[in-house]
Amino acid sequence: MKIKNMELRNRFIRSATYDKSSDEKGHVTDKRIELFADLADGGVGLIVTGLTYVHPSGQLAAFESSIATDGCIPGLKRLTAAVHDRGAKIAVQLYHTGRENARFLEAKGEQAIAPSFVPNDPYFIQDYRQMTEEEIWEIVEAFGDAAKRAREAEFDAVQVHGAHVYLLSQFLSPFTNRREDAWGGTPENRLRLHREVYNTIRRKVGHDYPVLIKIGVQDGCSGGLQFSEGKQAAQLLAQWGFDALEISQGLRGKAYEETEFKTNISSLDREAYFRPWCREIKDLVDVPVMIVGGLRTFELMEKIIRNGDADFISLSRPLIRKPGIINEWKSGNRHRATCISCNQCLEALRKGEVLHCAQKKAKEES
């Protein structure tokens, strides 16, 4: 299986999952190497790292991974080597958190930045401000520099984070982007940041390097991005040159059901919850499409690939529960993923703990 010139040993991808295992500077630790080595040993084809900030203003929380300075490169090199030694490939997820770090920055006496300030926003009541044009260009440049560092650190690809609640989604969504200049208003203007980020990355890494994007094609909040516009955005991203699209949602609503990590995935009809979006987008683009979100049953994944609804299967929570599940499936033991989608992994991260499966931990302790 190939994405551009990157050959993968199978169609399974570990979807970006942040792990809070970096040190206070955002550098790689031994714990992080251990987490990634387990995944690579477990048989997955490509591992996408979790959130990795490209600029200090884009860091969400403490112990998050950084690629914002050259000082990050030696640790990242150790990480890519550990994955390559085990036969897997690795991409780094480049991102800026936008307004999401308002509380984190406030504690440091700084203010978060976003496309616009949204008055009376029921989803977000913290202090932040609209970015200047100069700041937008600084972030565009930071994405390019980060991609250059990624190549130097021997990542096989980069994935731009254009999904969920973060900066690129904030620009694409008409709910969070109220700008009246060339970065807001029309769908094309709201997608301008994506285009500039892509062009800058391409300029810095060359034409042979795989540049992927995870894109939120519909918001989970009211007044946000609609799928009719999101799928056109996906089509444009592929036309501009992104080498693969991972299809997810944009801004979150309040309940888990209105987010990218839905719960209660206890039956087949709750699985693969973004499949209808993938199917429509797959027909519109010539680049590989990665499906993510609630994939738990091997036979369903096979059906999705055979049906041509997606080219790659991307998993997050099932691999937190069991990093070795791909090898088990390969050996013929095609059991349903044991992850129960309780989201306690996420809750633990939010409390500052290093990534782990709460169910597995409880079982080990009993």
Ligand X SMILES: Cc1cc2nc3c(=O)[nH]c(=O)nc-3n(C[C@H](O)[C@H](O)[C@H](O)COP(=O)(O)O)c2cc1C
Residues tagged active-site: 166
Answer for which of 168, 346, 357, 358 binds ligand X (CB under 6 A) is 346
- Please identify, using beta-carbon distances, which residue of 48 and 136 lies nearer to ligand X: 48
- Please identify, using beta-carbon distances, which residue of 289 and 292 lies nearer to ligand X: 292
- Please identify, using beta-carbon distances, which residue of 184 and 315 lies nearer to ligand X: 315
Beta strand spans in 124-222 (E):
128-130, 157-162, 211-216
Q: Does 51 bind ligand X (CB under 6 A)?
A: yes
Q: Does 42 bind ligand X (CB under 6 A)?
A: no
Q: Does 93 bind ligand X (CB under 6 A)?
A: yes
Answer for which of 210, 216, 230, 294 binds ligand X (CB under 6 A) is 294
Distance between CA atoms of 159 and 165, rounded to whole angstroms? 16
Answer for which of 97, 169, 173, 316 binds ligand X (CB under 6 A) is 316
- Please identify, using beta-carbon distances, which residue of 47 and 287 lies nearer to ligand X: 47
CA-to-CA separations, 29 to 23, 207, 323, 359, in angstroms, rounded:
6, 32, 19, 25
Closest by alpha carbon to 90, among 82, 99, 101?
A: 82
Distance between CA atoms of 246 and 311, rounded to whole angstroms? 10
Closest by alpha carbon to 248, among 282, 283, 213, 287?
A: 213
Q: Does 168 bind ligand X (CB under 6 A)?
A: no
Answer for which of 92, 157, 160, 163 binds ligand X (CB under 6 A) is 163
What do you get for the CA distance between the two ends of the chain, in Å? 41
Binding window for ligand X (CB under 6 A); candidates: 37-45, 136-144, 158-166, 325-333: 158-166
Q: Does 58 bind ligand X (CB under 6 A)?
A: no
Q: Does 50 bind ligand X (CB under 6 A)?
A: yes
Q: Tokens 């909040």 sit at which residue? A: 221
Distance between CA atoms of 20 and 187, rounded to whole angstroms? 34
The secondary element (H helix, E strand) that includes residue 112 is: strand 112-114
Residues that bind ligand X (CB under 6 A): 15-18, 50-51, 93, 161, 163-164, 214, 248, 260-261, 292-295, 315-318, 345-346, 349
